Amino acid sequence: MGIMLTDTKLQTIAEKVNHDERLTIEDGLYLFDSPDLLGIAQLANQVNHKKNGDHVYFIENMYINPTNVCEANCGFCGFKRKPGEEGAYTMDSDALLEYVEKRWNDNIREFHIVGGHNHEVPFDYYLNTIRTLKKHYPQVTVKAYTGAEIEFFSRISGLSMKEVLEELMKAGLDTLPGGGAEILTERYRLKMSPDKASTDQWLEAHEIAHNLGLKTHATMLYGSIETKEERLIHMDRLRKLQDRTNGYMVFIPLAMQPRSINAGIKRRTTAYDDMRTLAISRLMLDNFDHIKAYWINIGVQLTQMALTFGSSDIHGTLIEERISHAVGALTSQGITREELIYLIKSAGKTPVERDTFYNVIKTY
């Protein structure tokens, strides 16, 4: 593909990309500053095309948040409740099964389970959540508990993180979601999520999971107090772990949602920042197969744009999603399969329905 770059300094970075040379944090900082956003998009598109052709993946999944009771106080969360607070809940097995049954259809391939760090219930509660789902829906992949939750379970159970993961796998855990990463620098975590796993603990939880044979996901929550350099340090830390384990399947940049649905445009990330961050993620994370544009988070139209900015995955036909919507997400809470396929096709790409591990179920 011939790429037209209006920014001469980008030429040097393009040379590196063309020769499969790893970009440095300095290169990344330049990409955040370059006026040539479309040039960056073309480079990211080229890298993605090399890895994935024109395939864009999606999955039919169901979100389950078994409890919203949480000991942590994170600066970005509108989901958590304290024990006994109005709106606080913890589902038992019956409530869990009832929740799933109401939303069930036979195309669902994955349960995505994330909840509060609820210290009012024992570790066995979290194991039992998985056991219950596996017993009733053995064919569905269980993607459960973030790296931060793994560290929390280790604290409440007295087990090591490795033992925690082994117990969860015995109960039927198939993969870890990417949440709880936020921004992987201590400056950020001390300010925004002081009660949650440290940078090293989050990375360690995933490294242990990879070494036990689990493939996992990675996210980045951007758009608050972090610097551009911290976003790049975050990517670099993931990339170094991926060099060692090759256990990550996908990277998901998530735009910070404001506390209120009525928040003005200045309280949100800009479309430019969303697109640039996706494209830079594709260029920096050379050892990740997929960059996901999460439509719930940036909206369907920007997600469609993201498909030419280096993204090869747009998440799924979600019926309901609560965490982003507990804060001020503007997007609808569900999208149908037909709409999703239209979204991909009308961007000139090929929709591919996948399972959790990127095995093709059907190409449209």
Q: Residue 161: which H helix or E strand, with range?
A: helix 161-171
Give the separation between CA 250 and CA 177, rounded to whole angstroms: 10
Inside any domain, residue 275? yes
Question: pLDDT digit string (tens) for 25-42?
Answer: 999 999 999 999 999 999
pLDDT > 70 fraction of the chain, expressed in percent and rounded:
96
Number of neighbouring beta carbons within 10 Å of residue 131? 16
Q: Is residue 9 part of a domain?
A: no
pLDDT for position 258: 79
Average pLDDT value over all residues in the chain: 94
What per-residue confidence (pLDDT) applies to 6?
76
What pLDDT is attached to residue 319? 56
Please state the rounded mean pLDDT for residues 282-288: 98
Give the per-residue pLDDT at 339.
85
* Region for 162 from its dihedrals, namely left if φ exceeds 0, alpha if ψ lies in -120 to 50, beta otherwise: alpha
Asked if pLDDT for residue 320 goes beyond 60, the answer is no
The structural domain count of the chain equals 1
74 is in an annotated binding site: yes
From the list 54, 52, 51, the residue with the least C-alpha distance to 364 is 54
Q: Is residue 200 part of a domain?
A: yes
Task: Kindly state whether residue 3 falls inside one of the protein's structural domains.
Answer: no
CB contact at 8 A, 172 and 133: yes
Of 201, 134, 199, 208, nearest to 176 by C-alpha is 208
Task: Quick: pLDDT tens for 225-267.
Answer: 999 999 999 999 999 999 999 999 999 999 998 777 777 778 8
* CA dist list (Å): 38 to 147, 225, 310: 35, 26, 12
Q: What is the pLDDT of residue 45?
A: 98
CATH code, domain with 64: 3.20.20.70
Write down the pLDDT at residue 262.
Answer: 77
Higher pLDDT, 175 or 315: 175
Which of 323, 275, 301, 364 has the alpha carbon at shortest distance from 57?
364
Dihedral angle sign, alpha carbons of residues 321, 325, 326, 329: positive
Residue 15 is assigned to a structural domain of this protein: no
Q: Is residue 203 part of a domain?
A: yes
Distances (CA, A) of 345 to 25, 47, 92, 363: 35, 20, 41, 11
Please check whether residue 93 lies inside any domain of the structure. yes
- On whether residue 13 sits in a domain, the answer given is no
> Residue 171 annotated as binding?
no
pLDDT tens string 321-346: 666 777 766 666 677 788 889 999 99
Query: Does 8 score more than 60 pLDDT?
Result: yes
**Per-residue pLDDT for 198 more than 70?**
yes
Q: Give the pLDDT confidence score for residue 276 in this predicted structure.
A: 98
3-state secondary structure at position 111: strand
Q: Could you list the residue range(s) of the whole structural domain that residue 237 is in?
A: 55-363
Taking the C-alpha atoms of residue 278 and residue 284, their distance in angstroms, rounded to an integer, is: 10
Please indicate if the annotation marks 24 as binding a ligand: no
Residue 37: alpha-carbon gap to chain centroid:
24
